[in-house]
Structures are given as C-alpha cells and as structure tokens.
Amino acid sequence: MVACVGALVASKTMRYLIAILALAGVVVSAMALHVHFCTDPQPCSINEKWDCGIVNHSAFAEIAGVPVAAIGIAGYLALGALAFWRQRALVFLIALAGLGFALRLTFIEEFALQVWCLYCVISQAVIALITLLSLGWVGTEYLALKRANCGGADGACAR
C-alpha cells in the first residue's frame, strides 16, 4: 500500500515537473523566435562566441520555411499537453526525439556556425531534463505495474 502511494506521488510530481519545464521551453523558444524575426541588437548577443542573432538568422534557423524556434514551441506545447493527459510513453518518445533534434542543432552551432545561442543552450538543458524526467516517469509506472502483478507470501511474480 505504501509503495502504491509513493508511486502515485512520484508520478504526479513527474507530471507537474514535466509540464512546468515544457512551459519554460515554450518561453525560451518564444524568445528565440522573437530574435529570429527581429533585427535589433539582442540582449543575448554577448560576444563573438555567444550571439543569438547570428544563430537565429542563419540558414539553419528554418526547416522548409518554418523557424526552428516555432517547431520548438509546438514540441514543448505537445509535451506539456501529453504530460497533463498522463501519456507517459508518448512524452518520453517525443522528448527523446526533441533531444535528438536539439543535439543536432547543438552540433550545428559548434561545428558549422561556431557561435552559441544562449536561448538554444537553455532549451537544450530543458529538453534534456524533460527526457530524463519522462524516462523516470515511465520507469516508475513500469515498476508500479510490476509490483502490482507480484503477490503471494513468498513475493514471487506471477508468470
């Protein structure tokens, strides 16, 4: 009984943490989208190695005419909604895809542009945390289901 309550609390905590992080991802992606469409000097343009304007105005900032930051907003909104609806496996799969996409963009920043975007780095951290939390959320659910299928005096699992 105590294990079930603990799993429920952990599941609820993961759900809310993922939703909050997804909201943070929406905000940081919206800030990057603003930089994409704005030509004014940006507060995230710190020096020659940290310049969001260079990154967000590069040829890599759009895919088929859609700004990468807009794709990020859509992805984070989907993650937040799926977390709200308790879709653990989908949250994990989409977060994993988002992490792969973000790693690709990080690779481009490092090796193609040789300039970093502060908003992109923050987004990378957010999607990495969401991916780890969603893995923990799926794992917690798996263990709770496994425990529910185990029983008897000797604690052996039914096969």
Give the closest residue to 119 by CA, choosing from 69, 70, 157, 74. 69
Mean pLDDT of the chain, nearest integer = 90
* Least confident window among 14-18, 34-38, 43-47: 43-47
The crossing angle, in degrees rounded to 10, of helices 118-148 and 68-84 is 20
**pLDDT beyond 90 at 6:** no
Residue 35: burial class (beta carbons within 10 Å; 0-12, 13-18, 19+): buried
Q: What are phi and psi of 88, to 5 degrees?
A: -55, -50
Question: Residue 64's pLDDT is what?
Answer: 97
Distance CA 19, CA 41 (A): 32
pLDDT digits 0-9 by tens, 61-110: 999 999 999 999 999 999 999 999 999 999 999 999 999 999 999 999 99
pTM summary value? 0.88
